[in-house]
Structure 1
Amino acid sequence: MAEYYPPVGFHFKVEVNLPDIAQEDREVRFQEVGGLNKTLEIEEFKEGGENRFAHRLPNPAKYANLVLKRGMLTKSKLINWCFDAIDNFDFKPADITITLLDEKHNPLSVWNISKAYPVKWLTTDLKAQENAIVIETLELAYQYFTKSDQK
């Protein structure tokens, strides 16, 4: 019987379903993906005459914002999409696929993000005394995600 080893977190790819963005393009080469989590919110109801406890009922799941980080690009179509939403209030939601890959580049797990749109963009501070790459961060809100395991 083969020994199981958990997958590594550094071998992944991101695909953004937007026109003009090729999936093998530099636009989708991110160094970090965060915010892949969901939480079930609980609402409490107190019943008259019952003082020992409150009824705890589930509400729909809440999803954290998706956070994508990469080295800053100039003339980026993805950043133009982001600024159109933030500056011009021109929203064009996009589906995003994040795939965790094995050592042979085969999919292990896939997260399908539905109808994402930008809510925040930022870069690291510019510092003359440091020799560092400028990192830009995109924060995206979305409706929901699904996860599927491939192996």
Structure 2
Amino acid sequence: MADDGSAQSQTVWPLPKFYFQVKWDDTELAFQEVSGLDMESEAIEYRAGNSKVFSKIKMPGLLKTSNITMKKGVFVKDNAIWDWFAEIKMNIIKRKALTISLLDEEGNPTMVWKVQNAFPVKVSSTDLKAEGNEVAVETIEIAHEGFVIENG
């Protein structure tokens, strides 16, 4: 009898990254690509004047996050990212909480990034080419104040 793999542990294989969802407010948008989910701590170097060791020590400093870039196909009468960007006025913008979820085969979230106080900083429309054979894709770049990761 052949092994069909059903007895295999679910923790053996890493998760595929092609099945995910993005939500803001009560809206779920279909994005093709999400990147920039990274965070780093700036290192602070310090040396006390009375230290017997002639080198600096390093301590963790402020956290720094990258902007999140999301790409999606252009659909008729779908202006959600442009409408949000159009709300920007001098130092005034509606900040939103974003939820980005990596889904399993049944559509259940397995890893969730909860992005805090997100707002758009750049929106790019598709390039147009008469001889092209590609789908029209628009891009939004989001600044934020950090995120929390939850595992399902």
**Aligned amino acid, residue 37 of structure 2:** L
Distance 1:117 1:22 in 2: 15
Q: CA RMSD in A?
A: 1.9
Name the aligned partner's letter for residue 45 of structure 1.
Answer: Y
Instruction: Answer with 75-84 or 133-142: which moved more.
Output: 75-84
Alignment of 1:102-121 (within 5 A): 102-121=104-123
- Give yes or no for contact 1:47–1:55 (8 Å, CA) kept in 2: no
Q: Superposition pairs for residues 31-46 of structure 1, below 5 Å?
A: 31-46=32-47
Unaligned runs of 5+ in 1: none
| One-letter code aligned to 2:20 | F
> Is 1:60 aligned to residue 62 of structure 2?
yes
CA distance in 2, matches of 1:72, 1:47: 57
Work out which of the residue numbers 6, 9, 15 in structure 2 matches 1:2. 9
Name the structure 1 match of 2:131: 129
Q: CA deviation at 1:56?
A: 1.1
Runs (5+) with no aligned partner, structure 2: 1-7
Distance in 1 between residues matched to 2:70 and 2:87, nearest whole Å = 18
Secondary structure at 1:79's aligned position in 2?
A: helix
Instruction: String of CA shifts for 1:49-70, please: whole Å, max 9, x gaps.
Output: 6573112121121111111110
Structure 1 length-normalised TM? 0.84
Shift of 1:43: 1.4
Indicate how the Cα distance of structure 1 residues 78 and 123 shifts in structure 2: closer, same or farther if over 3 A, else same. Answer: closer
State the TM-score, normalizing by the size of structure 2: 0.83
**Equivalent residues of 1:16, 1:95 under 8 A apart:** yes
Tell me the equivalent position of 2:85.
Answer: 82
| Aligned-pair identity (%) | 33
Is 1:145 the counterpart of 2:147 in the alignment? yes
Cα distance in 1, alignment partners of residues 129 and 50 from structure 2: 63
Structure 1 residue matching 2:49: 3-state secondary structure: coil
Distance in 1 separating the partners of 2:54 and 2:127: 53
Q: Kindly indicate which of the two structures has a greater share of residues assigned to helix.
A: 1
Figure out how many residues of one structure are paired with residues of the other and give that number: 141
Deviations 1:21-50 (A, max 9, x none): 633xxxx10011111110011011233365
Between Structure 1 and Structure 2, whose CA radius of gyration is higher?
Answer: 2
